Structure 1
Amino acid sequence: MATTALEISEMCPIPTYRFVVTVGDVAMAFSEVSGLSQTVQTIDYRDGTGHWCLMPGQRQPVNITLRRGMAKRRKELSDWFNSISFNTVDKKDILISLTDETGTELLITWNVSNAFITALNGPSLSASGNEVAMEEVTLMADRLKIEFH
């Protein structure tokens, strides 16, 4: 049983509301990150005697969605999306890190390798609403690695 403040803080789950995102070399603010999961194909292996088992196959691509409020002159994501042309793409590494309450110490980092934009969605506009204009970017990446600090 935990008795000191340090032991208690190390056993408590980490809240998800304080995180930082770095796309390439640029730190960006996002309100939501989803899709931090990696899966593998499963392969049916059947032998000649009627037995079978499941085996892991190749890793599937990582699909990540980032959402943030739109602001004047913050056009990094649209510039990145517009840089895509036939058979050329600017792939970037992305770091997504959970931090402590102060936002200064990194606790867990998801290293996303070779990400590129597959979709850039603008906000839904309504003259009768008062919501913040949100943009959403969907990324596909080669690999996801988790690092505990």
Structure 2
Amino acid sequence: MASAPPLLANGFRATLAGESVAFAEVTGLTFEREQSTYKHGLSEWEGETLQTYRSTKHQRLTLKRGVFAQDSRFFTWLTSDDAEARPLDVALVDATGTPVLVWRIRRAIPVKLTGPSLNASSSEVAVQTLDVMASGITVERP
């Protein structure tokens, strides 16, 4: 049986509107439900309280060490004054570039961009860290 291609230590690909950018590290990929407790008048049948869980909790997602072209959709989205929430996919890729796991984010809004040391010999935009507020995170195997 053939073994699967190895996973890269820095193999993450973020995709926004069909355009992909590679990042070396991603943190904050958390799926968490918000808990709400309600007291009600049906305690004889249901108990004194009801627990409900919503998946609308926003998570801070950090993408580190990425490079993309200056005329990319990512750059436009990050630098616009009124950046709107957009769907964003973050994939863990193997050595061949094939996604192994994909985190689909329904709503992502860029909130902080930190650049590295600047280099005049390159026309690409490098990102040290990109912080995104994300909600509606699901995990899929392609």
Report the TM-score when normalising by structure 2. Answer: 0.67
What runs of 5+ residues in structure 1 fail to find an aligned partner? 126-132
Structure 1 93/58 Cα, relative in aligned 2: closer, same or farther at 3 Å?
A: closer
Q: Identify which of 92, 97, 108 aligns with 2:101.
A: 108
Question: % of aligned pairs identical?
Answer: 26
Cα RMSD over matched residues? Answer: 3.4
Q: Identify which of 20, 23, 27 aligns with 1:30.
A: 23
Q: How does 1:36-55 map to 2 (within 5 A)?
A: 36-46=29-39, 51-52=48-49, 54-55=51-52
How many residues of Structure 1 are paired with residues of Structure 2 in the alignment? 129
What runs of 5+ residues in structure 2 fail to find an aligned partner? 119-125
Give per-residue Cα distances to partners, 1:86-140, cap 9 Å, x unaligned.
xxx333322211223322x322111112211111123479xxxxxxx85211111
Q: Which has the higher strand share?
A: 2
Distance in 1 of aligned mates of 2:81 and 2:139: 28
Give per-residue Cα distances to partners, 1:9-60, cap 9 Å, x unaligned.
58xx966543322122221121111111122222234465885564424520
> Does the aligned pair in 2 maintain the 1:62–1:143 contact within 8 Å?
no
1:90 aligns with 2:84: yes
